[in-house]
Amino acid sequence: MRTAPTILHLDMDAFFASVEQASKPSLRGKAVVVGGLGPRGVVATASYEARVFGVHSAMPMGQARRLAPNAAYLVPRFELYRSISEQVMRLLRALSPLVEPLSLDEAFVDLEAGGAAWDADSARLAGAKLRADIRAVTGLTGSVGLAASKMLAKIASEEAKPDGMVLIEPGTERAMLGPKSVRILPGVGPATGDHLRRAGITTVEELAEAGEDELVRLLGKAHGHALYAMALARDERSVVAERETKSVSVEDTYDVDIHDRVRVGVEVARLADRCVRRLRGSGLSGRTIVLKVRRYDFSTLTRSETLRGPTDDPAVVREAAARLLDSVDTTGGVRLLGVGVSGLADYTQEDLFAQAAGEPAEEHAEEPAGEEPAEEYRPGPVGRRWPSGHDVRHAELGHGWVQGSGLGRVTVRFETPYSGPGRVRTFPVDDPQLTPADPLPLVEAPRRPGEGGAPAASAGAGVAEPPAGAEGVPPASAVPSAAGVAEQEQEQEQEPGSAGAATP
């Protein structure tokens, strides 16, 4: 076991919500909840201002609304989150070749392997520089933990939240862990915690005092041995760079069960195309196409078909997924669909045209292969949809974001990451001057010598607002609720300004 605190754990603070606050000046310092707002929606991330009211990740969105009725509720923008995550990961890889991403907003780094740190002082300097670089590049904050092991580094980053840094000096680990709840240790969830509490064990110190044999008796061999080692601050796991991707998959959950077989087929084709875009974005191809169907009664079926060679051809994946769908009975309704590709390779087979005609499914499984699916906004099947929080551009008023839509109208706040809080305007949903837009960078690029004037993107920030209460226009202080997608729910139409977040 190493003796220097050269394992770094980075956790971006309330990542999705922080991105939304950074890109929307009117929401800075306000309660923001990102997730799905349909009947089956859950919270993806809540800002620290929302957490004060008890809102947290994975909470049903209906419960979150009851706890924080005045929060801003936004649809996730996963492509933006991924792009910012890539910026952060590049900064980590500049420190060391050994970077182990755990999610978009979390990673371990072995500082010693990159020569970035070798003792406590150099580790502290590396951590401070990383936090400053992240703020300069992304405008966001991250919490850093430094220790001699992965377990302790992660615990340290939790202690550092939000926007802080904690270093656990070697030799102090057991004294630091002792009085803390057993729930601080990895693998101790509510059930295990309750089981230990009934045995009179509530702190890490009591866990160590119970002894290895007693923990094995209480929890079983594997879990007992592991928890005893953690209670003694032992963790021999090394940082593993870039875990090999086993599959690429996407899925959508629907607010209302789909009964129309044609609509199900259209959704499967759309998911197949999305899956291929992710596959190609990673420079991969795959041999096995997997279809996941969760039916009205919550039963989940998967069907898979293995091709003769790897492919990244969207037509091949679509047609294979369609053949797999033919083997599934969807009569009672479908609440979730997913398409994945596994058996990955970094090349494609030259001639796969014959595979579009393919053979019947070869494999049947009860659970899908693959990793956590991508979650993206899924527009409804009819008409123009304006997901709350997403970027738009007006031909005259410039860049803004959607506060809410419904009843044939869409409400937009015109502001950019570099402007002050902007003004609000409401338009017909089919206004030809209003179009979806790409997100703006959170940090404004520096102007070249000789360039002057205000950024063109911020032109909408000073738009005059119609009088509050004018027909079809909500007061500027009302941010309407929006329907969204953390589990890819369809947007629910509602009156703009009907149940939103108070903003300046």
The residues that are catalytic are: 106
Amino acid (1-letter code) at residue 163:
D
Extended beta strands in 407-459, E state:
409-414, 423-428, 434-436
State the Cα–Cα distance between residues 468 and 37, nearest whole angstrom.
27
**Helices 190-198 and 212-219: crossing angle, nearest 10°?**
120
State the Cα–Cα distance between residues 214 and 68, nearest whole angstrom.
44
Which strands, in side-by-side order, build the sheet including 434-436?
423-428, 409-414, 398-406, 391-394, 434-436
Nearest Cα residue to 402 out of 394, 390, 393, 414: 390
State the Cα–Cα distance between residues 25 and 416, nearest whole angstrom.
7
Report which secondary-structure segment, H or E, holds 79. helix 78-95
The answer to whether the CB of 95 falls within 8 A of the CB of 117 is no
Instruction: Say how many C-beta atoms besides its own lie within 10 A of residue 185's C-beta.
Output: 19
DSSP code per residue over 219-234: H-HHHHHHHHHHHTT-
Question: Angle 353-354-355 (CA atoms, 0-180°, nearest 5)?
Answer: 90
Report CA-CA distances (Å) from 356 to 173, 306, 325: 59, 12, 15
Joined together, the tokens standing for residue 22 give 């950074």
**Helix then strand then coil, % of the chain, to nearest 5:** 30, 25, 45
The answer to whether the CB of 99 falls within 8 A of the CB of 34 is no
Joined together, the tokens standing for residue 362 give 């070869």
Tell the residue number behind the tokens 């270093």, with chain if given.
167
204 half-sphere exposure, CB direction, 13 A CA radius? 23
State the Cα–Cα distance between residues 170 and 153, nearest whole angstrom.
12
> For 13, which DSSP code?
T
> At 126, is the secondary structure helix, strand, or coil?
helix
Burial category of 223 from C-beta neighbours within 10 Å (exposed 0-12, middle 13-18, buried 19 and up): middle
Joined together, the tokens standing for residue 270 give 């759309």
The neighbouring-strand residues paired with 405 are: 410
> At 374, is the secondary structure helix, strand, or coil?
strand
Instruction: Say how many C-beta atoms besides its own lie within 10 A of residue 122's C-beta.
Output: 17
Joined together, the tokens standing for residue 394 give 């007006």
